[in-house]
Structure 1
Amino acid sequence: MCRIFGHFDAQITPHELRTVAAVQRHGGPDAQTFAAGPGWALGNNRLAVMDPSGGSQPYRLGEHVTIVFNGEIYNHAELRTRLTALGHRFTDTCDGSVLPALYAEFGRDFTEHLDGMYSVAVVDLRAEPTLLLAGDESGMKPLYYHWDERTRQLRFASELPALLAFPGVPAAVWEPGLDEYLSTKTPFGEQTMFEGIRVLPPATTLTVNRSQGLRSVRRRPPAGAECPSGPAEAADRVRELLRTETARLVRADVPVSVITSGGLDSSLVSALAARAVPDLHSFNIAYTGEWPHDERHFAREAALRNGTRHHQVEIDPADFPDLLPQVVWHLGQPNADPITLSTYALFGAVRDAGFRVALTGDAADELFGGYDRIRTAVEAPAGSDWVSAYVDSLAAVPRALRRSLYAPAYRDLVRARGSAADRIARDLAASRTPRLETITEFETGSRMPAYHLRRVDHLSMAASVEVRLPFCQPSLVRYAKALPDELKVSGGRGKRTLYGAASGLLPDSVLSRPKQPFTLPVAAMLVPGTALYGYARDLLAPARLRRRGMLDPVAVDGLFAEQATRPSERAALALWSLLVHELWLEQFMPALGSAAGPAALADRERAA
């Protein structure tokens, strides 16, 4: 696991490349290296997980092909055997070392042979100099880039703060971003909250050269899995697939751990991982004091059943104002889920306990219909407007409330342009596939990479911890998508096949518990008298909001008054979301806020 960065046809000095590397050093503390030539450079920050004594990057294929890589290739042993039979030789057993030989054999189609999570950059000088960027099917390893159409220059990095450390990459607000963010909790698709900065979509290969400029190709997904004959067969098949993938994903040359919330998905991954790893350690996060949605007792029961050595991590809500700016900086753009703060603290504890790899149960809800919003949409009567309710359930701030919070000029901009919610609703309504298939494709193809996987990647790698996700493995993704609707959502319940797969492996308390969100109880924590409420009050002060010009200070004050007298999830999440957005502006927009820009952030990272 690593972080990567580089450029094509920009004029970047070695000092500037080292600055970029310094900003994302937390994601690769073991080595910082780069290679450069006329009009190009590729760099790598290494987190040594496989073959720590080998795996030195950048990789080379002769004198004319250079490769850097971030992620894990789980089928590297099989690929090495195949490539050795074709005459290639390898000096180590690191997973990424198969990439030059694979590229030599298959060229730009080399990704078709990879099973894993990855972002890869290749500079090929054998004909016209060309840069190639490629990402995995699910979008587990993000890659951000800035393409300057006028100068025909491209710069890229695994993290937004690192990309902004490149000279020539402006930190400019994408004006519609606030509404996009409040509509979907973070921008979906290729656009980021920064004007001119994009993120590589899942299953995409991007190439750039001087004659053709920037080109992007979405790779075709492999054929789907066969449908099962019934519920029992489906449950058995999912259990076997998950068992096989979990056994593959626990292979590492450093200690491996698991994250468990005490819910179905993470507990099932923990149960299967415990059968493959002796003396497995599990981690759960909770908050000092008594709060709603406390899941620690479920996590403890699952740990006892699975025989793991359990770590109960606690954070004090009084520390939230100190933690939140760090979370926002590492994410690089706003994400409205309060669980970001807990996730950051949890992976810090995993690292402090001596672990560099952690398995999680992420992505099961998207694949198997686990969210309430999916079940509600699927079970809505034919002919009803299920789309509007579903789209509004994605929002950090419901449509009517967010429009009331905007300053008049910003409200006019949104009205003229249309919102992300409008666009999503049109696309869903226009779909000709069955309802659950439409929703699943949207959840896994649009929402999950942007909102979920980037959050997990950035906040784990902030602590130098590699997260592995069994449910994102292609075999499971394809099989889950092939399941008939009734084997995922029916009778008022989601994830029916997954519950069947977990039967006999987990305690009844976990299998029978009602679903609850794995999140921070923000409605209870963001009330007068708490550190978080006072912090939000200061950051969202009327004078500051007037200077920004996007929000109506009177309306935001009204939201504070509502939360103070009648605390609710609606008001609390809205205030949390506005607080995160304001922190993002303060950290990355020196012309609009009080924080320093990318150079100072690079100095801060180097000092850390």
Structure 2
Amino acid sequence: MCRIFGHFDAEATPHELKSVAALQRHGGPDAQTQAAGAGWALGNNRLAIMDLDGGDQPYRLGEDIVAVFNGEIYNHQELRDRLSAKGHRFADTCDGSVIPALYAEYGMRFPEQLDGMYSVALVDLRDEPTLVLATDDVGMKPLYYHWEASSRHLYFSSELPALLSFRNVTARPWDAGLDAYLATKTPFGEQTMFEGISVLPPAATARVTLSAGLHITRREVTRAAGTPADEAEATQQVRDRLRDEVHRLTLADVPVATITSGGLDSSLVTALAAEKVPGLHTFNIAYRGTWPSDERAFAREVAERCGTRYHQIELDPASFPSLLSDVVWHLGQPNADPITLSTYALFASVRDAGFKVALTGDAADELFGGYDRIRKAVSAPFGTDWVTPYVDALAAVPKSLRESLYSPEYRAFVSASGSSSDLIAEHLRAASGDTLEVLTDFEIGSRLPAYHLRRVDHLSMSASVEVRLPFCQPSVVQHARSLPRDLKIAPGKGKKVLYSAAEGLLPDSVLNRPKQPFTLPITAMLRPGQPLMDFARDALSADRLRSRGQLDPQRVDALFETQASAPNDQAAMAIWSLMVHELWLEQFCGPPASMTAGERTLEGQK
């Protein structure tokens, strides 16, 4: 696991490259290396997980093929054996060392041979100098880039703050970003919140040359053939595939732990990992005091049932304002899910306990129809509009409320350019096929990488912890896609076959409990007298919002009045989301230009 960066057909001083590396050192503290030539450079920050004494990057094949890599390749031994039979030799057994030889044999098709999570950057100097970038099928390892089409310059990095340290990459907010963010909690697709900065999509291979410029192709993701004969067969297949992947993903040359929220998905991963790892350690996070939706009792039950060593991490809500700045910085762009705070603190505790690898249950809801919005859409009577409520359920702030919060000028801009929610609705209505299939494609292809996977990647790597995701493995994804609707969604409940697969492995209390989101209880925490409420009021002051020009200060103030007199989830989420957005602007773009020096105190107060 690493962080990577570089440029192609461009210029960067050694100081710039060192600055980029330094800004990603948390994600690769074990080694910082780079290689450079005329008009190109590749760099790497290493978090040593496999072959701790080997694995030096950049990897080379002769002098003409140079590569850096972020992630884990789980089938590297199989690939090494295949390539060795073709005459290739390897200096170590690290997973990424197979990449140059694999590219030499398969060319632009080399990512099709990889089983794992990865982003790869490779320079081929044999003919016309060529840069190749590639991402895994689900998008577990993000890669951000800035492409200057006129000059054919490209800069890339695993994290946005590092990319912005190249002097030719500017932190300029994307005008439509606020609406996109509030419509989906973080921007979906290839556009980031910064103008001119994109993220390579999942299953993508990019080729860059001076003569042809940048060309990105999307690999077709394989789908499983056929469907199970009945529910019993489907249950057994899900359990077997997940068990195989969990067991395989526990292999590392460093200690491995699991994260257990107390819900089905992470608990099942923990139960299966405990079969393979003696004395497995598992971690749960909760909040000091008494708050709604506390799941620690369920997580502890799972640990007792599976015989794991349980770690209870308690986070003091009074520390939230001081944590927010770091969380927003590591993410690089706003994510409105309050769980970001807990995630950041949790992985810091995992690393403090001596663990560099943790398995999680992320992506099960997307694969097996676990979200209420999916179940409601699939169950909607024929001929009714399921798209509008589904799209509104994605939002941090429902469309009618967020548009009322905009300034007249920004509201006119959104109306003229088109809202993000309208674009998503158009896409869903134009898609053909079964409703569940359409939604699964959208959840996995658009929402999962943007909303979940980037958040998990950035916040775990902020603490130098590699997260492994069994539900994102190809065998599990393909099988889940092949399952018919009635094996995923039952009346009033999703993930039907996954619950069946967990029977006998987890306590009945976990299997029979109502589903609840793993998140921060912000409605209770955003109340008068709470530290978070005072911090939010300072961040969203009328003068600050007036200077930004996108929000109506009076309407935002009315949100605070509502939350103070009649606290509710909608108002609390709106306040939280707007606060995070303002902190992001402050961090990366600076305070509003029209504010005086005395007013520019938000960052200094944190």
TM bracket (short chain): over 0.9
* Cα contact 1:587–1:593 (8 A) shared by 2: no
Match of 2:217, SS? Answer: strand
| Superposed counterparts of 1:139-154, under 5 Å | 139-154=139-154
CA distance in 1 between counterparts of 2:446 and 2:592 reads 30
Task: Supply the AA of the counterpart residue of 2:305.
Answer: R
Q: What do residues 97-122 of structure 1 show as CA deviations (whole Å, max 9, x unaligned)?
A: 11111111111111111000000000
CA distance in 2 between counterparts of 1:17 and 1:74 reads 30
Match of 1:134, SS? Answer: strand
Shift of 1:316: 0.3
CA distance in 1 between counterparts of 2:225 and 2:209 reads 37
Q: Which residue of 1 aligns with 2:243?
A: 243
Shift of 1:590: 2.4
* Cα contact 1:180–1:419 (8 A) shared by 2: yes
Match of 1:146, SS? Answer: strand
| Superposed counterparts of 1:106-255, under 5 Å | 106-255=106-255
CA distance in 2 between counterparts of 1:91 and 1:176 reads 49
CA distance in 2 between counterparts of 1:259 and 1:593 reads 43
Match of 1:123, SS? Answer: strand
Task: Supply the AA of the counterpart residue of 2:84.
Answer: T
CA distance in 2 between counterparts of 1:279 and 1:223 reads 36
Shift of 1:226: 2.6
Q: Which residue of 2 aligns with 1:8?
A: 8
CA distance in 2 between counterparts of 1:511 and 1:419 reads 40
CA distance in 2 between counterparts of 1:594 and 1:102 reads 54
Q: Which residue of 2 aligns with 1:517?
A: 517
Q: What do residues 182-223 of structure 1 show as CA deviations (whole Å, max 9, x unaligned)?
A: 000000000000000000000000111111011010111124
| Residue 489 of structure 1 pairs with residue 460 of structure 2 | no
Match of 1:509, SS? Answer: helix
CA distance in 2 between counterparts of 1:223 and 1:446 reads 17
Q: Which residue of 1 aligns with 2:600?
A: none
Shift of 1:535: 0.1
Q: What do residues 300-321 of structure 1 show as CA deviations (whole Å, max 9, x unaligned)?
A: 0000001110000000000000
| Superposed counterparts of 1:92-103, under 5 Å | 92-103=92-103
Match of 1:510, SS? Answer: helix
Task: Supply the AA of the counterpart residue of 1:313.
Answer: I
Q: Which residue of 2 aligns with 1:469?
A: 469
CA distance in 2 between counterparts of 1:592 and 1:162 reads 23
CA distance in 2 between counterparts of 1:120 and 1:11 reads 21
Task: Supply the AA of the counterpart residue of 2:159.
Answer: E
Q: Which residue of 2 aligns with 1:428?
A: 428
CA distance in 2 between counterparts of 1:344 and 1:297 reads 22
| Superposed counterparts of 1:556-575, under 5 Å | 556-575=556-575
Shift of 1:88: 1.3
Q: Which residue of 2 aligns with 1:65?
A: 65
Q: Which residue of 2 aligns with 1:285?
A: 285
| Residue 263 of structure 1 pairs with residue 263 of structure 2 | yes
Q: Which residue of 2 aligns with 1:601?
A: none
Task: Supply the AA of the counterpart residue of 2:302.
Answer: A
Q: What do residues 509-538 of structure 1 show as CA deviations (whole Å, max 9, x unaligned)?
A: 000000000000010001110000000000
CA distance in 1 between counterparts of 2:197 and 2:588 reads 13
CA distance in 2 between counterparts of 1:181 and 1:559 reads 18
Shift of 1:594: 11
Task: Supply the AA of the counterpart residue of 1:512.
Answer: N
Match of 2:60, SS? Answer: strand
Q: What do residues 161-189 of structure 1 show as CA deviations (whole Å, max 9, x unaligned)?
A: 00000110010010000000000000000
Match of 1:362, SS? Answer: coil
Deviates more, 1:1-10 or 1:83-92: 83-92
* Cα contact 2:544–2:592 (8 A) shared by 1: no
Q: Which residue of 1 aligns with 2:603?
A: none
Task: Supply the AA of the counterpart residue of 2:400.
Answer: A
CA distance in 1 between counterparts of 2:343 and 2:457 reads 10
Q: What do residues 561-583 of structure 1 show as CA deviations (whole Å, max 9, x unaligned)?
A: 00001101100000000000000
Q: Which residue of 1 aligns with 2:22?
A: 22
Structure 2: give runs of 5+ residues left out of the alignment. Answer: 596-606
* Cα contact 2:223–2:482 (8 A) shared by 1: no
Q: Which residue of 1 aligns with 2:56?
A: 56
Task: Supply the AA of the counterpart residue of 2:239.
Answer: R
CA distance in 1 between counterparts of 2:223 and 2:521 reads 41
Task: Supply the AA of the counterpart residue of 2:50.
Answer: M
Q: Normalising by structure 1, report the TM-score.
A: 0.97
Match of 1:340, SS? Answer: helix
* Cα contact 1:586–1:594 (8 A) shared by 2: no
Task: Supply the AA of the counterpart residue of 2:189.
Answer: G
Match of 2:493, SS? Answer: coil
Match of 1:235, SS? Answer: helix
Task: Supply the AA of the counterpart residue of 1:587.
Answer: Q
CA distance in 2 between counterparts of 1:366 and 1:520 reads 21
Q: What do residues 372-418 of structure 1 show as CA deviations (whole Å, max 9, x unaligned)?
A: 11111110101011100000000000011001100000000001011
| Residue 335 of structure 1 pairs with residue 335 of structure 2 | yes
Shift of 1:490: 2.2
CA distance in 2 between counterparts of 1:417 and 1:541 reads 28
Match of 1:291, SS? Answer: coil
Shift of 1:593: 6.8
CA distance in 1 between counterparts of 2:459 and 2:209 reads 33
Shift of 1:323: 0.2
Q: Which residue of 2 aligns with 1:307?
A: 307
* Cα contact 2:65–2:125 (8 A) shared by 1: yes
Q: What do residues 2-43 of structure 1 show as CA deviations (whole Å, max 9, x unaligned)?
A: 000000011111111000000011000011110000010000
* Cα contact 1:330–1:462 (8 A) shared by 2: yes
Q: Which residue of 2 aligns with 1:578?
A: 578
Task: Supply the AA of the counterpart residue of 1:336.
Answer: A
Shift of 1:224: 2.2
CA distance in 2 between counterparts of 1:498 and 1:515 reads 13
Match of 1:207, SS? Answer: strand
Q: Which residue of 2 aligns with 1:75?
A: 75
CA distance in 1 between counterparts of 2:445 and 2:487 reads 21
Count matched residues.
596
Match of 1:169, SS? Answer: coil
Task: Supply the AA of the counterpart residue of 2:536.
Answer: A
CA distance in 1 between counterparts of 2:136 and 2:266 reads 22
Q: Which residue of 1 aligns with 2:439?
A: 439
* Cα contact 2:5–2:158 (8 A) shared by 1: yes
Q: Which residue of 2 aligns with 1:452?
A: 452
CA distance in 2 between counterparts of 1:106 and 1:136 reads 16
| Residue 393 of structure 1 pairs with residue 412 of structure 2 | no
Q: Which residue of 2 aligns with 1:602?
A: none
Task: Supply the AA of the counterpart residue of 1:383.
Answer: G
Report percent identity of matched pairs.
Answer: 69
| Superposed counterparts of 1:364-403, under 5 Å | 364-403=364-403
* Cα contact 1:155–1:163 (8 A) shared by 2: yes
Shift of 1:248: 0.6
Shift of 1:497: 0.5
Match of 2:167, SS? Answer: coil
CA distance in 2 between counterparts of 1:329 and 1:455 reads 12
* Cα contact 2:206–2:217 (8 A) shared by 1: yes
Task: Supply the AA of the counterpart residue of 1:41.
Answer: A
CA distance in 1 between counterparts of 2:18 and 2:161 reads 14
CA distance in 1 between counterparts of 2:487 and 2:474 reads 19
Shift of 1:83: 1.2
* Cα contact 1:586–1:593 (8 A) shared by 2: no
CA distance in 2 between counterparts of 1:471 and 1:211 reads 40
